[in-house]
Every structure is written in C-alpha cells, then in structure tokens.
Amino acid sequence: MKYNFDEIIDRKNTNALKTDALGPRYGNSDLIPLWVADMDFLSPPAITEAIIERAKHGIFGYTCPSQEYYNSIINWVDRFHDWKIKQEWISFIPGIVKGIAFVIDCFTTKDQKVVIQPPVYHPFRIVPTLHHRDIVYNPLILEAGQYRMDLEGLKKAIDPQCRVLILCNPHNPGGRVWSRQELIDIAEICYDNNILVISDEIHSDLAYAPNKHIPFASVSEKAAQNSITFMAPSKTFNIAGIVSSFSVIPNDELREKFHAYLASSELEEGHIFAYLAAQAAYEHGEEWLKEVKSYLWDNINFVDQYLKANIPQIKAMIPQASFLVWLDCKDLNLSQQDLVSLFVDDAKLALNDGVMFGSQGEGYMRMNIGTPRANIEKALQNLKRAVDSKQI
C-alpha cells in the first residue's frame, strides 16, 4: 500500500460535521463518530497539492470551468462506467441534495408526487416533503440478506400524479449495485408512465468487484431520454466539503429546461476549488481509489467477522458498494429508542438511526466504516461490552 489508511487523524475542532456536531446531534461530544458519510482518511495528495498550488497564486477571482475539467469527467465516466457522455450534457451543481431540490422545483408542481424506494437516503423523503410534494413509497424487498426492487409494487403504487422517481444508484443504506435488468425495468416503467428519473450516482465509483456500477442512463434509450444523473467525486475521494457535484442530461429538452432553471439563479456556477479538486481527483486519483477500496473492503469483512464471532444478534448487510454498513439489530429485541440508547449511551458510538431512512429501517443502524481499522475495532469492542452488560 502506498497510502496509509491506518493513520488516525484528529478531526475535532476543524468544523467537521462528523466530530464537531456530535454534541448537538447526539447529546454527547465524546462518541466514536461512525455516522455522516465522509471518511476519516486524507484525500489523494494530488487534490491537496492542486489546491495549495492554486492558493499560492493569491488571487481568487471569478472562475470558469476549464476544458481539462470537462475532459477529466468525460474520461472518468467513460473509463470507469463505460458511459460516453458529451460536454454539453454536463453542468456543475452545488451538491446532489440541492440538485434533487432543483429538479423537484423545476419539473413538478405542488399537486404532483415523488416516488422513492425506502429504506433510502433520508433527503429523498425530506427534500420533496419540504417542497410540499407528496411522496409515494415503493419499499424495497429484503431477500436473502440483500434488497431488491419491487417492480410489480412500483406499477401498483404509481398514479398519474407521480412525476419524479429518485433512484439511489448504488443504494444507500443497503449498498446494492443494481443489476442491468433492474435498471432497464425501472426505466421502462418510468418512461411509460411519464415519471422522470433522478439517478443519484454519488456512490458509483466505490462498487466492489465483481459488482460493477451501471449508470442508469446507459441501460436503454428510454433511460437516457428520461433521466437526470447526478455524480460527484465527493464520496469517492473524500472531498464532500469542497462541493463539486455535477449533473449529466442526455435529453435535449430536459437539459435545456434544467440548465435554464440553474442559470436563472446562477446555480451552475462552480467555485474555484470545486473545478480544481474534481479535475485533480479524476486525473490522478485512480491509484488512491484502488487502495482505499481495498482497505474499505477489509473493514467491511472485519465488521462482519467480528459480529459473527462476538455479537451474533447483530448482522451486517455486506454492501456491494461504498462505506456504509447496514446493521440488522432486530435479534436484540429492543425498541428503536432502546437500540439507539444502547449504541449512544452504553457503547458511546454515533451511528445513524435506521429509522431515518424510513420505517423499514426499524431495528437497523447504519455504520460508516470509512475510518482506520483501530477505530472500528474499538467501536465493536464497545458495542460488545454494551450488549453483554445488558445480557441481551
């Protein structure tokens, strides 16, 4: 390994949400933070170096995206995801959650509905709700320890007021890398029912072999013509704070409408370090990514083995992508409140409460394993002590 992911770096007092918001969020600032989805590793040195180099110039005026910035995205998406995109399809957006809000605002009216497939990343529910759109739920089906989409359920759940479906591709919190067939089927149903698909592909670069991420828009003409894809280097290279997401829209009409919406508030104007960091990541981050994925995969297996050997009442859903592990704690037979209290008050751990992701998350907690192994080991030991002391 060229990069040392075992290094423990103190993030406290850097305004890191993960460490410095523990007090307000969990009522205790002295917890091991395994919640919000960023990692405790240094980003690829090429990103830091590019930022430092540019900062040395000392003038931080209005900035435009360079040709190299676009090329780096186009090459990355082609090489890693076998999807050929054109420069004009791409636009900077100031975050994917914000992008979802923009699509809802731009393409739906208040009497229209948004479809989501819970348990799923909570802003998929919160953002449309705060925009006064009703949500239609098509829960995922749990089968042999993995989630799959309920395509028949989707056909039954939708009605003519449904206008947008938000797809988490790959899935958070279950970690599924959807199959080509699942994506083709979703594309077919949505196209035929005039439901625009937002494909949130923020976790796409972190798929573990043999799973391979498939961009939604690449699976069929119906998918390409009826979707808005969001991607970002933020999860991949641990640069969420830099905010460097982008949208990709092959369909002319959808793209013109969305780009005009963005332009009306200058939302498509990125900032100096966003362009720079994204380009450095895509041009020079490949080796780092390979190593971080290998480290993350070992962390996932470590959690799985530890639980099997020491806390068999808790089962890890092995993610096919990314660094979030969905823990099935139902065999502890605790109410959700007592489950959260076991983690926070007894084990001194800050994980995400499964119910955040929908009622289907009852009995679950989401663990972020994007941290040095020593932290994971300590967290699991705390958890074992807490479970043992309760004799559950």
Question: Which residues make up the interface to ligand PLP (CB under 6 A)?
Answer: 37, 95-97, 121, 168, 172, 200, 202, 232, 234, 240, 245
Q: How far apart are CA 243 and CA 278, in angstroms?
A: 9
**Largest separation between any pair of C-alpha atoms in the chain:** 61
Residue 31 or 232: which CB sits closer to ligand PLP? 232
CB of 275 to ligand PLP, least distance (A): 15
Residue 166 or 329: which CB sits closer to ligand PLP? 166
Residue 135 or 332: which CB sits closer to ligand PLP? 135
CB of 82 to ligand PLP, least distance (A): 21
CB of 156 to ligand PLP, least distance (A): 25
Residue 22 or 324: which CB sits closer to ligand PLP? 324
Q: How far apart are CA 346 and CA 173, in angstroms?
A: 24
Six-digit token pair at 208?
């573990």
CB of 93 to ligand PLP, least distance (A): 8
Q: Counting Cβ atoms within 10 Å, is residue 252 exposed (0-12), middle (13-18) or buried (19+)?
A: exposed
Q: How far apart are CA 97 and CA 91, in angstroms?
A: 15
Residues facing residue 228 across a β-bridge: 198
Picking from 58, 8, 120, 124, the residue whose alpha carbon sits closest to that of residue 378 is 8
Q: Which residue has the tokens 């420069």?
A: 87
CB of 168 to ligand PLP, least distance (A): 5
Residue 334 or 367: which CB sits closer to ligand PLP? 367
CB of 39 to ligand PLP, least distance (A): 11
**Type of residue found at 145:** G
By the 8 A CB rule, do 248 and 293 touch?
no
CB of 240 to ligand PLP, least distance (A): 5
Residue 96 or 292: which CB sits closer to ligand PLP? 96
CB of 172 to ligand PLP, least distance (A): 4
Residue 108 or 247: which CB sits closer to ligand PLP? 247
CB of 34 to ligand PLP, least distance (A): 13
Q: How far apart are CA 243 and CA 240, in angstroms?
A: 6
CB of 41 to ligand PLP, least distance (A): 16
